[in-house]
Structure 1
Amino acid sequence: MAKDHGSSIKDDETYEALRDDGYSKSTAARIANAKANSDQEPSKKGGQSPAYEKWSKDELYDRAQELDIEGRSDMNKDELIKALWESR
């Protein structure tokens, strides 16, 4: 049985499985909560976005800003890509 992570995590079992797979706490929480929401289908959205290497630096920066990645304003394109990958 999954541990109760409190009201901030809506699907404890999914959260624990994602953490075991190496996802960060925040990413695991976002995915677990989206899966618990019947209005969202996170598994159906995957794979539709092009690889980060095909994004412009401005697009990468905007995504890093959405994820609140620190130091993004000083990063070049390759560093932004690496930071975005590590944020998952």
Structure 2
Amino acid sequence: MPTKKPGPSVKDDELYEKLRDEGNSKEKSARIANAAAHSSRSDVSHRGGKSPSYDDWTKDDLYRRAADIGIRGRSSMSKAELITALRNH
């Protein structure tokens, strides 16, 4: 059991803390933990895959997606850097 509660918006504290320990951002950890709380943890990893790979997106599309989710420094990023930032967000 986690030693501290991350906050009332996080539905699965244990998974959240595990993801944070792995180095994930607070936002990403909360998003995954909450998705897992609404179903089984194993189902969460099987839901994705409907969008094409970021490698197939244009730089403009990657930039717009980065803007939508608030990635800082996106204006000076290359396509490869945008892909990395999006994958790690």
TM-score (norm 1): 0.75
SS across alignment from 1:30: helix
Q: Which residue of 2 aligns with 1:12?
A: 13
1:1-34 deviations in whole A, cap 9, x for unaligned? 2232220211101101212222111100111112
1:31-70 deviations in whole A, cap 9, x for unaligned? 11121124xx532223443332111112211221222001
CA RMSD of aligned residues (A): 2.0
Alignment of 1:8-87 (within 5 A): 8-38=9-39, 42-87=44-89
- In the alignment, the residues of structure 1 paired with residue 79 and residue 51 of structure 2 have an alpha-carbon distance, to the nearest angstrom, of 17
Query: What is the percent sequence identity of the aligned residues?
Result: 55
- Count residues with an aligned counterpart: 85
Q: Give unmatched runs, 5+ long, in structure 1.
A: none
TM-score (norm 2): 0.74
Displacement of 1:71: 2.0
- In the alignment, the residues of structure 2 paired with residue 33 and residue 74 of structure 1 have an alpha-carbon distance, to the nearest angstrom, of 32
SS across alignment from 2:20: helix
